Structure 1
């Protein structure tokens, strides 16, 4: 590559700031900051929602386990009862409601 001579007087001069360009950069930065804040708020809201849903799922799991134990106890009770102690058979003619 060939070196290009540079005039020192031109280099020492500072270019005047372009107010329209500087304002556009600041506007873009503030817009990006606003978007970042919005994303952070959305992320925080989603994290809170996930934690709440996790708690709901944990409670439902405990409830389901309790119901399963109760159902197992009922099955055990029904199996240990004799036929005369069990649930009476349903007879539609004998168990007719009084309003018929």
Structure 2
């Protein structure tokens, strides 16, 4: 009879414990998904940084003064002046 009473005393506690276990399982899954997303974005960011370095190197190596005329504000007045 005392064992049966102990089981009845633990019954109200089992539902909140099961709810917490479900929430923990959900949060574990969510953390795993977020970790995967951060890892993927980290790789994409590294790739974009590499592409930017290549573009900057191309810009620095090209001679921009050859194809573009120097701007002189006195001789190159807009038509509305």
Q: TM-score, normalised by structure 1?
A: 0.59
Are 2:25 and 1:44 equivalent residues in the alignment? yes
Which runs of 5 or more structure 2 residues have no equivalent in the other structure?
71-77
Which runs of 5 or more structure 1 residues have no equivalent in the other structure?
1-16, 94-100
Q: Which residue of 2 aligns with 1:78?
A: 59
Select the structure of larger CA radius of gyration: 1
With over 3 angstroms needed to count, the CA separation of the structure-2 counterparts of 1:83 and 1:38, relative to structure 1, is same
C-alpha RMSD over aligned residues? 3.1
Stretch deviating more after TM superposition (37-46 or 78-87)? 78-87
With over 3 angstroms needed to count, the CA separation of the structure-2 counterparts of 1:52 and 1:87, relative to structure 1, is farther
Q: TM-score, normalised by structure 2?
A: 0.71
The structure with the largest helix share of the pair is 2
More RCO (CA 8 Å, sep 6+): 1
Q: How many residues align?
A: 72
